[in-house]
Amino acid sequence: MAEKRPAASPGRAEAARIWLSYYNRILYEKGMLTEQERSRMEMKINRWQIPFHML
C-alpha cells in the first residue's frame, strides 16, 4: 500500500525562511560572510520555494 505524505502546513516554507535568515545573519555577525555575500544570500532566501520532496 502506498504511503501518503501529510500535506505541508502553510507556514512551513515561511518557518524555513526564518531559520535560513537567522543563520545567514549569525554567519555575517561572526565575520564568516561579507556584507555582499550576506545580501546575495538574503535575496536567494527570499526567492526560495520549499522543495516538492519536503511536502
Model confidence over 2-51: pLDDT tens digits?
A: 556 555 566 888 898 999 999 999 999 999 999 999 999 999 999 988 77
* Number of structural domains the chain divides into: 1
What confidence score (pLDDT) does residue 17 get?
93
Rounded to whole angstroms, the Cα distance separating 33 from 55 reads: 31
In a domain, 2, yes or no: no
Q: What is the pTM of this model?
A: 0.71
Rounded to whole angstroms, the Cα distance separating 55 from 49 reads: 11
In a domain, 38, yes or no: yes
Rounded to whole angstroms, the Cα distance separating 28 from 36 reads: 10
**In which domain, by residue range, is 30 found?**
12-46
- How crowded is the C-beta side of 54, counted as CA atoms within 13 Å? 8
DSSP-derived secondary structure letter, 53: G
In a domain, 54, yes or no: no
What confidence score (pLDDT) does residue 21 get?
97
What confidence score (pLDDT) does residue 32 get?
98
Q: Are 13 and 49 in contact (CB under 8 A)?
A: yes
In a domain, 27, yes or no: yes
